[in-house]
């Protein structure tokens, strides 16, 4: 049975701001998806990518209902508050992705690049997992979620920036249009999101302990990063082999990254 708990003044403000950012950022993103050539038939990549945002929101809802604080998962008002904040969170975070070399408008809408669409789908899910992790466990208020999720999200983008700097994976995706590279990048983002989410999950004690928990439980994200760098250098397209096997160079290494991350999360068990 849902509890009818009234929102405080600051919580109401968070809801209003979240809805505003949610609406603006999502309209902006969907507008970018629709700015490609109108007569081009190959719109599958953009259409498929457009479905991922609501899927990510459903994923967040499931996590909130299962692992959020008791007063959140049993309240329609609080569930909506953190769903709206999550939708806004992803909408804003997606504006950072072009700085790492992949653009929704340029690569998906205008160039109909399926490798970029797959990579962006993984990025979207990884970001949502980072946000969701900050909602797992009991805490005193929304600012705890912002701190914990922010910590995971910053770590997520730092890891991606290191990967891009050392492997130039965006070139393989946007210039070579290598679908295998897009799959590997998507898997990297999901794996990072899962590990970092688990790293910040749990009942709130203090900011310092949250940072300590991320270090203690999130260190495998560095292993995933190192492995991803090695994979990109070994499997990126070359002049001799401009098209890598989707299964051998994309699905298999991607599955290894995601399975390793999920295995770590399962081994740790539910956050205390």
Q: Note down the domain range covering 39.
A: 9-268
Comparing CA positions, the residue from 83, 90, 91 lying closest to residue 24 is: 91
Q: What pLDDT digit, counting tens, does each position of 197-238 carry?
A: 999 999 999 999 999 999 999 999 999 999 999 999 999 888
Percent of the chain at pLDDT exceeding 90 = 78
pLDDT at 4 over 60: no
Q: What pLDDT digit, counting tens, does each position of 99-116 carry?
A: 999 999 999 988 889 999
Number of structural domains found in the chain: 1
- pLDDT average, residue stretch 61-76: 91
Tokens of 235: 């499997």
pLDDT of residue 270: 85
Residue 175: inside a domain, yes or no? yes
- pLDDT average, residue stretch 174-180: 95
Global pTM value: 0.93
Determine whether 66 is exposed, middle or buried from the number of CB atoms within 10 Å of its CB (0-12, 13-18, 19+): exposed
Residue 164 · residue 156 · CB < 8 Å: no
Q: Using alpha carbons, list the distances in angstroms from residue 198 to 41, 153, 265, 272.
A: 41, 12, 6, 11
pLDDT at 253 over 70: yes
- pLDDT average, residue stretch 117-129: 97
pLDDT of residue 1: 30
Residue 3: inside a domain, yes or no? no
36 pLDDT band, cuts 50/70/90, is low
pLDDT at 268 over 50: yes
pLDDT of residue 44: 64
pLDDT of residue 170: 96
Give 161 or 241, the one with higher predicted confidence.
161
pLDDT at 46 over 90: no
Q: What is the mean pLDDT of the chain?
A: 91
Residue 113: inside a domain, yes or no? yes
Percent of the chain at pLDDT exceeding 70 = 93
Cα 125 to Cα 186: distance, rounded to the nearest angstrom: 9
pLDDT of residue 2: 38
pLDDT of residue 41: 43
Residue 190: inside a domain, yes or no? yes
**Angle formed at CA 193 by CA 207 and CA 26, multiple of 5 degrees:** 100
Comparing CA positions, the residue from 205, 194, 60 lying closest to residue 137 is: 205
Cα 86 to Cα 82: distance, rounded to the nearest angstrom: 6
Residue 41: inside a domain, yes or no? yes
């Amino acid at each position: 049975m849902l509890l009818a708990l009234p929102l405080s003044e600051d919580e109401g403000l968070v809801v209003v701001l979240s809805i505003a950012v949610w609406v603006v950022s999502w309209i902006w993103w969907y507008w970018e998806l629709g700015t490609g050539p109108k007569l081009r038939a190959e719109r599958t990549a953009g259409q498929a990518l457009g479905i991922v945002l609501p899927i990510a929101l459903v994923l967040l809802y499931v996590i909130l209902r299962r692992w959020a604080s008791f007063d959140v998962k049993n309240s329609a008002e609080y569930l909506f508050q953190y769903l709206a904040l999550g939708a806004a969170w992803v909408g804003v975070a997606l504006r950072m992705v072009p700085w790492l070399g992949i653009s929704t408008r340029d690569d998906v809408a205008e160039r109909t690049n399926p490798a970029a669409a797959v990579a962006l789908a993984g990025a979207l899910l990884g970001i949502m997992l980072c946000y969701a992790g900050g909602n797992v466990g009991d805490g005193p208020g929304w600012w705890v979620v912002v701190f914990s999720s922010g910590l995971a999200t910053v770590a997520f983008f730092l890891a991606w920036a290191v990967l891009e700097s050392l492997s130039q994976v965006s070139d393989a995706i946007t210039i070579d249009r290598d679908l295998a590279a897009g799959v590997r990048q998507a898997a990297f983002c999901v794996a990072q999101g899962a590990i970092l989410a688990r790293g910040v999950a749990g009942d709130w004690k203090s900011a310092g302990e949250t940072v300590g928990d991320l270090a203690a439980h999130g260190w495998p994200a560095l292993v995933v990063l190192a492995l991803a760098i090695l994979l990109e250098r070994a499997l990126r397209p070359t002049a001799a082999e401009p098209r890598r096997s989707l299964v051998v160079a994309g699905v298999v290494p991607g599955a290894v990254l995601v399975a390793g991350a999920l295995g770590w999360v399962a081994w740790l068990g539910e956050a205390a």
